[in-house]
Amino acid sequence: MIVTLTANPSLDRTVALPGPLLRGEVQRALSVRQESGGKGVNVSRALVASGLQTLAVLPGAAADPVLAGLQDHDVPFAALPIGESLRSNVALTEPSGVTTKINEPGPALSGEQQEALIGLLLDSSRGASWVVLAGSLPPGVPADFYATVTRRLRSLHDGTEVPLIAVDSSGEPLAAAISGDALGKPDLLKPNAEELAELAAAAGFATHKSAEELEGDPEAAAAAAAAVVRSGVGAVLATLGSKGAVLVTADGAWLATHPPVKAVSTVGAGDSSLAGYLLASSQGAAPADCLRQAVAHGAAAASLPGSTVPAVHQTTPAAVTITALKKD
């Protein structure tokens, strides 16, 4: 069982444009897709598509369209009722694959609601192999929320029953995941290139490279990820857009690349990459093979419309090339 927590879920609407986005102009959409979203929700959706057991934990009232969408797609969930509607996000996709996203902040969660959401996760995670803490945080939630949840999970699950914990966020919540004590640091972080540069800086490693430069220099990305691992994180899965992904653990570093695909929408591709990694991990795969499935899942997701998630049979892990890297 893989449990996901999405503290700030959303109703994701993807609008496909017939050409490049023209600011200040009127454009007609080719199509519109609407799906339940948020990083953790997307991971659970992808796991369900591949037949894995998962549970999505999130706030939201029973009648909220986000929860209705999960029911429609048979995604198991445990929801904490709140008094406000969940947010809506809009993604504008161009034929070239360029995506512009407009994300609402989401409803604020009070201290009592935050504690209740943590309690719901703790109850739901008993017996889980992985717990995924993913996405942005809603207004009112402190930046160290995921670090706090990680400590609570490890304090509750004594001994060998502690689930592995993955964090996929950005900005202050992501940086906070590596700034505390060992108990609050995750087993896996999944940044993109921009977030990796921020994490490396927070870990005391100055890359002097932009996100674009890290995407084009996997050895530099591996060195940055290695600095994060040395800070006490178990592993870093850094997605590098069309350049693939890098995985760094205490024991090694690898680059995975996939032949080019025609990008239709990159919305949720990183979430699908994380789902692919977890899928392979749950089957006992070696780290390099977990990376292989992560990249295969991400490539498949980018070739699908909107925030559609691929099933494992739609991925091509055999097409992925794995290269060992130096991490120091």
Comparing C-alpha atoms, which of 259, 270, 269 is closest to residue 308? 269
Output the 3-class SS for 260-317.
CCCCCCCCCHHHHHHHHHHHHHHCCCCHHHHHHHHHHHHHHHHCCCCCCCCCHHHCCH
CB 6 within 8 A of CB 56: yes
The mean pLDDT of 96-123, rounded to a whole number, is: 95
Q: What percent of the chain clears pLDDT 90, i.e. is strictly above it?
A: 81
Token pair, residue 92, equals 């504008």
Say how many CA atoms lie within 13 Å of 179 toward its Cβ: 15
pTM: 0.94
Q: At CA 305, angle to CA 302 and CA 311, rounded to 5?
A: 65
Q: Which of 140, 120, 142, 143 is nearest to 131 (CA)?
A: 120
Q: Which two tokens stand for residue 14?
A: 């993807």
pLDDT band for position 160 (cuts 50, 70, 90): low
What band does 210 get if pLDDT is binned at 50, 70 and 90?
A: confident
- Name the band, by pLDDT with cuts 50, 70 and 90, for residue 39: very high
**Segments making up each domain of the chain, as ranges:** 2-325
* The listed CATH number (3.40.1190.20, 2.60.40.10, 3.40.50.300, 3.40.47.10) that belongs to domain 2-325: 3.40.1190.20
Half-sphere exposure at residue 213, Cβ-oriented, CA atoms within 13 angstroms: 7
Nearest to 193 by CA among 172, 175, 210: 210
3-state secondary structure of 239: strand
Instruction: To the nearest 10°, report the CA torsion of 66, 67, 72, 78.
Output: 140
